[in-house]
Amino acid sequence: MILNTFRNIFKIAELRKRLLFTLGILVVCRVGTHVVTPGIDTAVLAEGFKQLQGTLFGLYDLFAGGAFSKAAVFGLGIMPYISASIIIQLLGSVIPYFQKLQKEGEGGRKKIMQYTRYGTLAISGMQAYGVAIFLQSIQLQNGMLAVPNQGLSFILITMISMSTGTMLLMWLGEQIDDRGVGNGISLIIFIGIISRLPSALLDEYAVFSSGQRGLLFELFLLALAMVIIAFIVLLTQGTRKIPIQYAKRVVGRKVYGGVNTHFPMRVNTAGVMPIIFAQAIMFVPSTAITFFPESDFMDSVAQLFSYDSWFYWILYGVMVVFFTYFYTAIALNPVDVADNLKKQGGFIPGVRPGKKTSEFLDNILTRITLPGSVFLALVAITPAFLAKYLDIPYNLASFFGGTGLLIVVGVALDFLQQVESHLFMRHYDGFMKSGRVKGRRG
């Protein structure tokens, strides 16, 4: 069945070209993560970064696909673009000008994209300056510096190379959107996270071959990974369908409307953003501690915010729940949905259009977001839990939950759905013909 589907993919000339183009772009993205910014001693840098795992720098390195820890030209990754997109989205909820652009269709979307590009350039420039200062501060106990020749010239070179790298990544992502398959930006993050998997598996195999773990334990880990991935798929795809009816309208001799459909409300409308926000904030204390001299007070604070601390897990989970509600409120406005339904002649059976509809939608959204946010919090703390109680290296445990696995599963589902749509249009069977995930057919 699956082999036939793969054959069908390569029978369609357009889909084959799109897939090969996407693969080529991703290869370029990975090559860029190994091109180091000039003026850096890579051996000292690698040693210095070993002390920064579990901080904001470690989180940033996850999204940069390991390029940040190598100070590569793609070291900033695509995060400045994501930051600019989030800022523009937040502005759209408070500033009338951006609200107007969001409602102007294709023209407004192009204008918003233009502002996002400008914001990406500005943010990447500022972040590259901060990275340059940070790289100059890395020094080992023997006195060796990560940047032997420090000064303005190194700062300028780093700003130019890393900012250019980010803009190139953004452009490559847009090329995938136009000429490839899948969401370009998401795929770039996806391939960066997946690139860590082979080394994590090799490390686990080394532990297994040395006799420290048995075959039964490894089979248990495999089964646990399958269960967690299935759980995340359900969380990602889960929706509440609100029935919608459109009233009949007679225009001349034609009858419009009279259609019954539904409005899907996702259990996890916010996606992976709550975990990213919560994790970034939770890493602030441990990151700040690295800039202070050692003391008993600093050691106690570091212990509270370490991965194996119950205080860290509880606070982290609470923040994930909070940001899930916060981002859902920004991503989906029940008032706008109710107004659009009213303008199009649609209504929910048994609910009056207008304010009553918005209150009805808001009530449902609040109720379905609660279990979604709690499940998201459990997924977020799973890697730390497994690392502590099953003694799994965090490099491998991160693939059992958290930000990385949510992104990987979400992007993989979207990619498969887009491939499905191409196959379906050519009357071929897809990957998910008999499964619950029906791609874009519905």
Q: At what angle do helices 184-194 and 152-179 cross, to 10 degrees?
A: 110
Domain-embedded: residue 9: no
Domain-embedded: residue 2: no
Asked if the model's pLDDT at residue 350 lies above 50, the reply is yes
The average pLDDT across 372-400 equals: 83
How much is the pLDDT for 59?
Answer: 60
The average pLDDT across 80-102 equals: 82
Domain-embedded: residue 333: yes
Please check whether residues 161 and 130 belong to one and the same domain.
yes
Q: At what angle do helices 106-137 and 152-179 cross, to 10 degrees?
A: 150
pLDDT bucket at 344, cuts 50 / 70 / 90: confident
Of 291 and 265, the structure prediction assigns the larger pLDDT to 265
Domain-embedded: residue 38: yes
Please check whether residues 213 and 359 belong to one and the same domain.
yes
Please check whether residues 172 and 320 belong to one and the same domain.
no
Please check whether residues 417 and 364 belong to one and the same domain.
yes
Residue 217 Cα distances to 147, 208, 220, 390, angstroms: 44, 9, 5, 10
Please check whether residues 240 and 169 belong to one and the same domain.
no
Please check whether residues 316 and 296 belong to one and the same domain.
yes
Please check whether residues 301 and 167 belong to one and the same domain.
no
Please check whether residues 230 and 170 belong to one and the same domain.
no
pLDDT bucket at 295, cuts 50 / 70 / 90: confident
- Given 195, 219, 238, the domain boundary residue is 195
Asked if the model's pLDDT at residue 436 lies above 50, the reply is no
pLDDT bucket at 300, cuts 50 / 70 / 90: confident
pTM value is: 0.77
* Of 384, 376, 438, 367, residue with least CA distance to 407: 376
Among 3-12, 142-151, 172-181, the range of highest mean pLDDT? 172-181
Stretch among 4-8, 178-182, 353-357 having the lowest mean pLDDT: 4-8
Predicted confidence (pLDDT) per residue in 22-73, tens digit: 999 999 988 888 888 888 888 888 777 766 555 556 666 666 666 777 888 8
Of 339 and 251, the structure prediction assigns the larger pLDDT to 339
How much is the pLDDT for 439?
Answer: 45
Domain-embedded: residue 8: no
How much is the pLDDT for 56?
Answer: 56
Among 65-79, 110-124, 325-339, the range of highest mean pLDDT? 110-124
Please check whether residues 149 and 41 belong to one and the same domain.
yes
Tell me, what CATH number does 409's domain have? 1.10.3370.10
The average pLDDT across 401-425 equals: 81
- Given 154, 170, 195, the domain boundary residue is 195
Mean pLDDT, all residues of the chain: 81
Please check whether residues 44 and 166 belong to one and the same domain.
yes
User: How many separate domains does the chain show?
Assistant: 2
How much is the pLDDT for 164?
Answer: 93
Domain-embedded: residue 5: no
Domain-embedded: residue 10: no
- Given 138, 173, 195, the domain boundary residue is 195
Domain-embedded: residue 337: yes
Q: Are 142 and 134 in contact (CB under 8 A)?
A: no
The average pLDDT across 407-422 equals: 82
How much is the pLDDT for 159?
Answer: 92
Q: Are 304 and 311 in contact (CB under 8 A)?
A: yes
The average pLDDT across 412-428 equals: 78
How much is the pLDDT for 440?
Answer: 41
Please check whether residues 333 and 429 belong to one and the same domain.
yes
Please check whether residues 127 and 243 belong to one and the same domain.
no
Q: Which domain holds residue 161?
A: 22-195
How much is the pLDDT for 434?
Answer: 47
How much is the pLDDT for 48?
Answer: 72
Q: Which amino acid is residue 101, in one-letter code?
A: L
